[in-house]
Amino acid sequence: MLLNNILKEKHLILASGSPRRQHFLHELGLDFEIQLKEVEEIFPKELKETQITDFLAKLKASPFKNNLKENDILITADTIVWLENKAIGKPKNAEDAKRILTNLSGKTHKVMSSICITSLKKQVITNDTTLVKFKTLSQEEIIYYIDKYQPFDKAGSYGIQEWIGYIGIEKIEGSFFNVMGLPTHKLHQELLTF
């Protein structure tokens, strides 16, 4: 049975301002409403890798907990880039984006996303990891990309679906859509069984 048939009595809420995540839900054929609530995205320092994204995806659901109705299903998500035992989030500005992309240049990093699905009765968290290898990027390429694409809303300062992905990514192991910010296959699977 198709997912949109299973969910037709449900009210799906996506708590994300990300145009990419909104596009994915639309492409999955789902009817949903966007609701945004501010959350300070701070995690305990001892957390590593998907523990961080799991924690933040769950944290993003917390302001909604008391307002959910019987047929509501809330979706929250978080993505980080993990390089050399450190989490890399969104850049603060162009200088920070340049520093991040220079660090990613010529190396393999992990992109980790977590999805938290919440209703009145239960909460499920799932995550996915993709390995991404960048070629050695020139400073000229990095500066051109930052100036033209302004990747300030993206973990790791890049969008795989943009120019930098076309010219810079040599290899990927795992879900392409996960690198864009949402492992759609995992979301689909979890919603089918939720």
Q: What is the pLDDT of residues 112-126, one digit of tens each?
A: 999 999 999 999 999
Among 20, 9, 10, 1, residue whose Cα is nearest residue 118: 10
**How far apart, in whole angstroms, are the C-alpha atoms of residue 65 and residue 63?**
6
Host H or E run for residue 165: helix 163-168
Candidate list 31, 54, 72, 78, residue with the active-site label: 78
Number of domains observed in the structure of the chain: 1
Q: Would you place residue 159 in the very low, low, confident or very high pLDDT band (cuts 50, 70, 90)?
A: very high
pLDDT digits (tens, 9 = 90+) for 120-149: 999 999 999 999 999 999 999 999 999 999
* Cα angle value 191/62/83 (rounded, 5°): 75
Q: What pTM does this model have?
A: 0.93
**How far apart, in whole angstroms, are the C-alpha atoms of residue 20 and residue 182?**
8
Among 173, 45, 8, 28, residue whose Cα is nearest residue 115: 28
pLDDT digits (tens, 9 = 90+) for 32-49: 999 999 999 999 999 999
Q: What is the CATH number of the domain that holds 172?
A: 3.90.950.10
Can you give the residue range of the structural domain that contains 163? 3-193
Is 78 in the active site? yes
